[in-house]
Amino acid sequence: MRWKKTLTMVEAHAEGEVGRIVTSVVNDIPGETMLEKMNYINQVDDSLRRFLVFEPRGYAQMSTNLIFEPIHKKADIGFLILQGDKAHAMSGSNSICLVTVLLETGRIEMSEPETIVTLDTPAGLVRAVASCKNGKCERVTLDMTPSYADQLDRIIEVEGLGEVKVDIAFGGIFYALIDPAQFDLKILPENARQLVSIGTRIHRAVNSQLDIRHPKLEDLKGISYTMFVGHDPDGVMKGATILPPGRIDRSPCGTGNSARLAVMEARGQVEVGQSLKARSIIDSEFQVEIVAKKTIAGKSGILPRVSGRGWIHGIHQVGIDPSDPYPLGYKVSDCWGDAFDLLSK
């Protein structure tokens, strides 16, 4: 074996959504902040993302997380989320995977019954409180980044669908929230392909028709994902986040539910301190709540909290032989979905 690059990763999942953690600290991505480092990957050189995320070293149904020495003096560690389309600013499920891996592998010392880990992300600091017992990280509770409803009840024109109503909200990244009843669909595993097809079409339309930008973080603009939002028959919130180029988040989605809580609060549908369950398309659950109200550059917003569980399920290495013809990997629409136009160029 004559690999010229070798990386070790720990695989974990948070309520069903896989988040791989590269165990070595990344030192060669320029940037004075985590946001600048994310922008460097997305705008200058995304070869590491492609190497790790795409086949044959990666696969569609997962994210890969890079760890960094923290830039913010109050943080314990920095991290970036790499997905099929680009690097992202924040993810609740990946934060849960990261904290679980850091504590259970001894990268950060575990204290029982609680360990506090502060994450440096492009969207800001995220405080994670891990509930620990007998060497196991049993649950991670995240104080998410300030979130807000940006545009409510917007009507957009979508190819093949006509007029569609969406809510635009920020939960660490921007979302278009969609009621699937508009298409006579429910959030069920057997409807996943239809939800993905509709979600990616709405994604294109939203970013071409609406002006969406964060009032303080200028580089955060346009939606990253669409999310279908509904309820199960027992009244519990249910959601399905569509990730380009065409898959569904297996977890309930931390940033998506932060955005959803912001919209619900703007409509008077939830109160501060009210704890709610949020289910995924595979019926896994997060606990979510609003900790407090928060003004964000003049916009009325919230401080959301998300809680879920993570499990380590694998450790492996990836590398590349100098003669390998696929150093940047490849993707095929049978597994990845066909919305390749939504990927970073």
Running DSSP on this structure, what letter comes out for residue 190? G
Catalytic residue from among 91, 224, 251, 284: 91
State the Cα–Cα distance between residues 78 and 38, nearest whole angstrom. Answer: 11
Work out the number of other CB atoms within 10 angstroms of the CB of residue 189.
Answer: 10
Q: Which residues pair with 6 in a beta bridge?
A: 319
Active site residue 47: no
The Cβ of residue 11 has, within 10 Å, a number of other Cβ atoms equal to 18
On whether the CB atoms of residues 260 and 227 are closer than 8 A, the answer is yes
Question: 63, 147, 253, 258: which is the annotated catalytic residue?
Answer: 253
Give CA angle at 144 (142, 150), nearest 5°.
155
Cα–Cα distance measured from residue 95 to residue 102, given in angstroms and rounded to the nearest whole number:
10
How many residues are present in the chain?
345
The two tokens of residue 103 are 């504590």
- Give kind and range of the element (H or E) at residue 124: strand 124-133
Please give the Cα distance from 66 to 112 (Å, whole number): 26
Alpha-carbon distance of 186 to 175, in angstroms, equals 19
Tokens of 254: 């931390």
Torsion of CA 132, 133, 135, 140, to 10 degrees: -20
> Is the backbone peptide bond immediately before 245 cis, with ω within 30 degrees of 0?
yes
**Bond preceding residue 56 cis, omega within 30 of 0:** yes
Residue 165 near residue 182 (C-beta atoms within 8 A): yes
**Has 132 been annotated as catalytic?**
no
End-to-end CA gap in the chain: 32
- Which sequence positions are flagged as catalytic? 91, 253
